[in-house]
Amino acid sequence: MIINKSEVANLLSKLACEYRVIAPVGKNGLVEFAVLKNGEEPRLDYINTKKPGKEILFPQSEELFNYTVDAEGVRMQDNVDPQATVVFGMRPCDVKSLVLLDNVFKNDQYEDVYYLTRRNNTLIVGLGCNEPAATCFCSSIACGPFSKEGSDIFLTDIGEAYVVEGISEKGKELLAKLGLAEASEAAKAAAAKRQQEVKADATVNIEGLSAKLGGMFEHPFWDRLHEKCLGCGACTYLCPTCHCFDIADEATDCNGCRVRNWDACMFPLFTMHGSGHNPRPGGKARWRQRLLHKFNYFVDRYNATACVGCGRCIKNCPVNLDIRQALADVRALD
């Protein structure tokens, strides 16, 4: 199927009758995912949103439930969000990150009702990347600028129009209702050409990396990797696959709410014990954790690398600690 770019706004208005529509929009000089306001046009010419797509299903700060204490006891109100949602125009790396996060929020030990309720009520329209950035390395890591993994519907930008493909059953069902025109053979060929030809940096070699990292816990490599790290949370907060969180109660008098906030393994407090002992006392242990979690522990546990190559950590690190370089350095070790 196909949709002209000039018709996208109409399509989204139509979708907005039935769904909450979330799309990239320009805000405060940044491109961010937001609920589209009536008549607002999405920004679909972006490279990557500043904040990763994970925030749609796993917000930075999420009020899990509210509570009130009175003479009769405690009243609680759960804040599960079941609203049917369409995310329009998410890049393949961010879409892939949601597939990875599914492992964390739904596994044999735990099912997170907050994440999963959103997840099950959200339909993802992925948007291929015609021009990956120099910092993108998705083609290196089981993803790629036209990876359709995780998308329910997939868009390929062929200039004046998007070629639209139904990927999942859920996506195909929605497309059947929308009545879009069939794509011409020429349009399909143009899309196929893009999908085949556009590649991001594919030179980050992670083959065999997990096994190598698995034997490196005590390696002197970690002594220096972290040296320039300032210990901020820019890389983890802007990473689409980092998913650590902290839970805090925010209360005034007898009213409160339990909030889940993103947390980061780069912060000392993240691992601080009540006793004052900290098993990850410095940058060395924290950077080791960051790299091992993404490229070894996650692989062991879920058989996938917890990195999608979006390059946000590279772009946003205040000291240019480049994860591609860190991986290359590991590879170069004897």
Name the residues that contact other proteins, by CB under 8 A.
28-30, 50-51, 59-61, 131, 133-135, 224, 227-228, 230-234, 236-238, 246, 248, 250, 259, 261-262, 264, 267, 269, 314-316, 318-322, 324-325
Instruction: List strands edge to edge, sheet with 73-78.
Output: 73-78, 61-70, 255-262, 245-252
Select 193 or 228, whichever has its Cβ closest to other proteins: 228
Q: What sections of 17-105 are H helices per DSSP? A: 54-57, 92-105
Select 5 or 50, whichever has its Cβ closest to other proteins: 50
**Shortest Å, Cβ 90 to other proteins:** 19
**Shortest Å, Cβ 266 to other proteins:** 9
**Shortest Å, Cβ 228 to other proteins:** 4
Per DSSP, the three-state class of 10 is helix
**Shortest Å, Cβ 165 to other proteins:** 27
What is the CB neighbour count within 10 angstroms for residue 315? 18
Select 119 or 312, whichever has its Cβ closest to other proteins: 312
Select 238 or 310, whichever has its Cβ closest to other proteins: 238
- Residue 132 CA to residue 249 CA, distance in Å, equals 41
Give the dihedral sign, CA 262/125/21/102: negative
**Shortest Å, Cβ 258 to other proteins:** 11
Select 248 or 333, whichever has its Cβ closest to other proteins: 248
Q: Measured at the alpha carbon of residue 131, what is the angle toward residues 125 and 133, in degrees to the nearest 5?
A: 105
144: left (phi over 0), alpha (psi -120 to 50) or beta: left
